[in-house]
Amino acid sequence: MWFEPKEKTLHSGSGSAINGQIFDVSGKYGALRLQVTGITSATITFEQSNDGGTTWDGIAGINTETGVKATTATANGTFLLPVTGVKKFRARVSTYVTGTIYVYAIAVPAIVAPMEVYSSLLAGTALVGKVGIDQATANANEVVVKSITAGDANIGNVDIVTLPAGNLGQRAMAASLSTVPASDITDATYIGDIKFGEALPTGTNAIGGVTLTGSYLVQDAVIAQNGTDSTEVDLQKWKYISILMPAGWDAATLTIKGSAVAAGTKCTIKNDAGQTFPAMTVAVDTIYSIDANALMLAGVHFIALVASAAQTTAARTIKVMCKA
């Protein structure tokens, strides 16, 4: 059964040791993704409860940048936690020295537990069938095939430890490929006239026309202090967007402008009836879903959020939540 992703702000500018908001994931979501910002010197402890919040136990998450698993966060980052069967979750500021802490959370269904996706292989003998793979030198691009007991590893009737003499009934073919490099080739990666070990060309990780990305992304649209226009947001792969307003905001409405190329001049967006994308009345710590005017953004590659008045108090970071 599919459940729509569920979002919640657990800390919005916390400046002390505090429990923060409780996220009710109702035991029906598989994974929880956290974005932590604003830590200067503090510790956030990840905790779960299944008895209505009376008892809280630790829960480990993966830092999606470093791959390190831990039950706490002491620096900014994004974390992925398995919450299958968990009813309530919180990110408690267990120790605090300095910082203005924000924690944003989104719960999503998950077929595979995230801990399995990111965990390293278990230590062992690394056997594939009867073939043992062992690395001769740490981090080297080479392996050693372990010895196999004679007579114990046959392919059909051929003992791969000691091949029999004769041609085993094969039909005569052309002479075997030379393993001696051509005299005018000094590259040691060649065997005969064939080059081995060549790296794949750099690119955009695309298979056909499908780019290998997830189905959800949060991008920052930052309006500089004394500015009105935000930094650029790429909508190429996204169909639906919502925006999360920051904890601080100098009174102003908000609209959206667009461009066809990165860093291009942002233009007014209109529909085929000549109607301009409307200005939105916004408030702090509020999520606004772009639904009634979503079609006006269809086909727009890059956008910027534009305030009707300069943000003179401080720079503002608006979270743009994108869904495929």
DSSP 46-104: EEEESSTTSS-EE--EEETTT--EESEESSSEEEEEE-TT--EEEEEEEEEEEEEEEEE
In a domain, 246, yes or no: yes
If you average pLDDT over residues 43-52, what whole number do you get?
95
Judgement on whether residues 129 and 98 belong to the same structural domain of the protein: no
Q: How many structural domains does the chain have?
A: 3
Place of tokens 């953004």: 297
Q: Give the whole-angstrom CA distance, residue 104 versus residue 91.
A: 10
Residue in 250, 233, 255 with CA at minimum distance from that of residue 315: 250
270 touches 255 (CB < 8 A): no
User: Is 129 inside a domain boundary?
Assistant: yes
Is the same domain home to 13 and 112? Answer: yes
Q: If you average pLDDT over every residue of the chain, what do you get?
A: 82
Q: Which residue has the higher pLDDT, 79 or 162?
A: 79
User: What whole-number percentage of the chain has pLDDT above 90?
Assistant: 57
In eight-state DSSP terms, residue 209 is T
Both tokens assigned to 69 = 């698993």
Q: How far is CA 5 from CA 31, 127, 149, in A?
A: 10, 40, 54
Range scoring the smallest mean pLDDT among 17-21, 126-130, 147-151, 196-200: 126-130
113/130 same-domain check: no
Lowest mean pLDDT among 96-100, 137-141, 193-197: 137-141
Greater confidence (322 vs 201) lies with: 322
Report, as an integer, the average pLDDT of 114-142: 52
Q: Can you tell me the distance from the alpha carbon of 6 to that of 25, in angstroms, rounded to the nearest whole number?
A: 8
What is the pTM (predicted TM-score) of this model? 0.38
Beta-strand pair 240-244/287-289: antiparallel
Question: pLDDT tens digit string along 49-61?
Answer: 999 899 999 999 9
Contact 5, 106 (CB under 8 A): yes
Overall average pLDDT of the 26-37 stretch: 90
Please indicate, yes or no, whether residues 228 and 254 belong to a single structural domain of this protein: yes
Do 242 and 291 share a domain, yes or no? yes
What is the full DSSP assignment across 268-313? E-B-TT-PBPPPEE--TT-EEE--TTGGGGTT--EEEEEESS---S
- 128 and 69 together in one domain: no
* Residue 106 shares a structural domain with residue 127: no
Q: Determine the Cα–Cα distance for residues 257 and 245; give it in Å rounded to an integer.
A: 17
Residue pLDDT, tens place only, 259-298: 999 999 999 999 998 899 999 999 999 999 998 888 999 8
Tabulate helix, strand, coil % of the chain (nearest 5).
5, 40, 55
Q: Name the token pair of 234.
A: 């790429």
Residue 103 pLDDT greater than 80, yes or no: yes
Residue pair 47/56 in contact by the 8 Å Cβ criterion? yes
**23-27, 87-91, 159-163: lowest mean pLDDT where?**
159-163
The single residue listed with the structure tokens 């030379």 is 178
Q: How far is CA 141 from the centre of its chain?
A: 27
Rounded distance between C-alpha atoms, residue 48 and residue 289, angstroms: 29
**Secondary structure (3-state) at 115:** helix
Instruction: Let me know whether 28 and 83 are in one domain.
Output: yes
With contact defined as beta carbons under 8 Å apart, do 217 and 106 qualify? no
Domain of residue 135 covers 121-162
Contact 129, 146 (CB under 8 A): no
Query: Are 16 and 114 part of one and the same domain?
Result: yes
User: Token pair for residue 211?
Assistant: 């780019």
pLDDT digit string (tens) for 210-246? 444 568 899 999 999 999 999 999 998 898 999 999 9
Calculate the alpha carbon distances from 142 to 120, 133, 197, 277 in Å: 19, 10, 11, 58
How close are the terminal C-alpha atoms of the chain, in Å?
19
Q: Are residues 142 and 83 in the same domain?
A: no
Angle at 241 between CA 234 and CA 263, to 5 degrees: 20
pLDDT at residue 80 greater than cutoff 60:
yes
Same domain? 220 vs 139:
no
